[in-house]
Copies of this chain bind each other. A is one copy, B any other.
Amino acid sequence: MEMGIVVGRVTATRKDENLVGTKLLITQAIGLDGAPLDSQPVITVDTVGAGIGEKVFFVKGSMASRAVRNKDAPVDAAIVGIIDSLECRNFKG
């Protein structure tokens, strides 16, 4: 899983029928210090009630679909948790 921050939301009227009712959030990957990375943001399905500005972790690939109620939804990224805190040691020293 990757860490990210929710930065936005996508509105899409025409979409796969199995995506109807899903909340599509734009998530930017972040580093251990919480700062956004240079990578491109990802459209993720929210499954835990995340809001803009919250730090989350998300699953990519086919396993993302496990988090979604509709088992036919074509989904490759899903937010599966909200980060309370990180405990982290520096080994790059």
Interface on A for B, CB 8 Å cutoff?
1-3, 5, 7-16, 18-19, 24, 26, 28-29, 31-32, 36-37, 40-44, 47-49, 52-53, 57, 59-67, 72-78, 80-92
In the complex, A75→B85 CA distance in Å? Answer: 19
Bound-state Cα–Cα, A7 to B50, Å = 26
Q: Are B88 and A16 in contact (CB under 8 A)?
A: no
A15 touches B76 (CB 8 A): no
**A8 engages B87 (CB within 8 Å):** yes
Say yes or no: A9 contacts B86, CB within 8 Å.
yes
Copies of this chain in the oligomer: 5
Could you name 12 residue pairs across A and B whose Cβ atoms are closer than 8 Å?
A1-B77, A7-B88, A11-B85, A11-B86, A29-B40, A53-B89, A60-B76, A63-B65, A63-B74, A66-B72, A74-B78, A74-B80
Nearest CB on B from A83, distance (A): 6
| Nearest CB in chain B to that of A75: its residue | B63
